[in-house]
Chain A
Amino acid sequence: MEKSIESIWKQGFINSDALVAPKLNKLYNQKSIHIIDKFKRMFRINLNAIVAGSILFLGISFVIGIPYMGIGFFLTLSIIVIVNRRLSRGLNKIDKSESSYQYIKAFDNWMKQQVSVNRIMARFYYPLFFLSGVLGFWQYHFNGKQLGEAITNKLILNYPGIDLIFGVPLFIILGVILMMVMLSYFGGKLYQWDLKVVYGGVLRKLDEIIADMEELRNT
C-alpha cells in the first residue's frame, strides 16, 4: 500500500457521492435500537405488566378464596415496581453528550446499581412469594374446611405426638423456613443467571470498552 491512510481518507471524501446522508423516514422501522432507550422501554413495559398482573391477581385471589396469597404477591410486586421505577429515573440522567468515558461509565454504573439492587431484592421476593403461596393455600377453604386445618388434623391422627406451634405442625414450619432460606440463597443467583443470559454480551462489551478507555486514561 503506497498511499498513507491520511491521503486515502482525504482523497476518498473529495468525491461528494461518498457522503450521501440517508433520509430520515424510518424512525418506526428501525433494525437497531439504542441501549438506553431499550432499557427505558423494557422497564416501562415490565413494570406496567407487573402492576396490571398483581392487581388482577389480587382480585382473583379474593374471589377464589386465597386472599393471603393475593395480598402477599401484590405487596411484594408493588415494592419491586416502586424500586425499579426509581431506578429507571437514573437512565434519564445519563447525558449522551458527555465524553465517551463518562457516558459509558455512567451507563455502566447505572447497570451495576440496578443489578445490585435487584439481586438483593430477589433474595427477599422469592421467599416472600413462596410464603404468600403457602399461606394462601393454608387458608384456602376446601369442602367447607380450611386446607391447613385439614392437613394438621390428618397429621395429628397419624402422628399423635407431633409438635405444634400456633396449631401448625413444627416440621411444616421448618420445611417452609428451609425452603425460604434456599430461595433466598438462590434468588440472587437466579437473577444473576437470568441477567447473564439476556444481557451477558452487552455487559461484557461495556466492560471491554471501559477497560480499554481506562488503560488510555491511566498509562
Chain B
Amino acid sequence: MSNDFYAISIKPYAAIIIKICRAYTNSQEDFEDYYQEVCLQIWRTRNNFRGQSEWSTWVYRLALNVSLTMLKKRKNNQQYFTSEFLPNELTESNQAFPDEDLNQLYDAIKRLSELDRGLILLYLEEKSYKEIAEITGTNPNNIGVRIKRIKERLKKLLDGKVD
C-alpha cells in the first residue's frame, strides 16, 4: 500500500474505521489487527469503487463487512468470530477512549448482536435510514423500528437495568 493511497484515501476516513473496529473487538491488539485488515481490504478492492456512492460510504461498507467476518487465531488453531459475546468480567480492561461515558456506551454496543452493532454505529454517524439500508442491504422501512429497539436496549444496558 503506497503512502499516498493511505494519506489520501484512508487517513481522512480513519475515524470511521476506528469507530467500527472498536465495536467489534475487545482488546487493543485485536483492534489494531482489524484496523489494518480493513485498510488492506480497502486498498485491495480500491479498483471496484465506481463512484456510485461516496467514498466514506464505501469505507463504512468495507469496514463493516470485514469486521463481521473476521476470525481470531487461537493457540490451538481453532477459529471463532471475535465478536462473540464475552461477559464484561472476562474481558480485559478496555479503556479505548479518554471519555468514560463513551467507553460505557461502547461496552453496551458490544453486547448487541453483530448486525445491531453495525446499525447503531451508522445511526450514530448520522447516516439516513436509506443509507443504512443501502450499506447493510436491508429494508429502509424496517430500520427505524430496529434502531428504536436498539436504542432502548442500549439505554437499559447503560442504566444497568439488564445484564
Chain A interfacial positions (CB closer than 8 Å to B): 1, 3, 5-6, 8-9, 11-13, 15, 17-22, 24, 26-27, 30-36, 38, 95-104, 107, 198-199, 201-202, 205-206, 208-209, 212-213, 216-219
Contact = CB atoms under 8 A, between A and B. Distances in A.
Contacts of A17: 98
Contact of A35 (B1, B71, B113, B124): B71
B79 A38 contact: yes
Contacts of A217: 137-139, 142
The 4 A-B residue pairs with the shortest CB-CB distance, nearest first, are: A101-B137, A12-B102, A99-B137, A32-B33
B115 A21 contact: no
A8 B101 contact: yes
A8 B115 contact: no
Nearest to B40: A27
Contact of B69 (A5, A6, A104, A208): A104
B163 to A, nearest CB: 16
Contacts of A22: 31-32, 35-36
The interface residues of chain A, by DSSP majority, are classed as helix
A21 B97 contact: no
Interface string B20-52: 000000000111111111011100010011000
A34 B101 contact: no
A219 to B, nearest CB: 6
A5 B107 CA distance: 12
A143 to B, nearest CB: 46
A209 B68 contact: yes
Given A18-B98, A100-B65, A104-B69, A31 B29 contact: yes
Given A21-B18, A24-B39, A205 B45 contact: no
A32 B71 contact: yes
A33 B30 CA distance: 10
Interface in B100-139: 101-102, 104-105, 113-116, 118, 120, 124, 134-139
B42 to A, nearest CB: 9
20 contacts: A5-B120, A13-B19, A19-B18, A21-B35, A24-B6, A24-B36, A38-B71, A99-B136, A99-B137, A100-B61, A100-B64, A100-B68, A101-B138, A103-B65, A103-B69, A209-B68, A209-B113, A212-B114, A216-B142, A216-B146
Given A24-B1, A100-B65, A216-B146, A32 B58 contact: no
Nearest to B134: A99
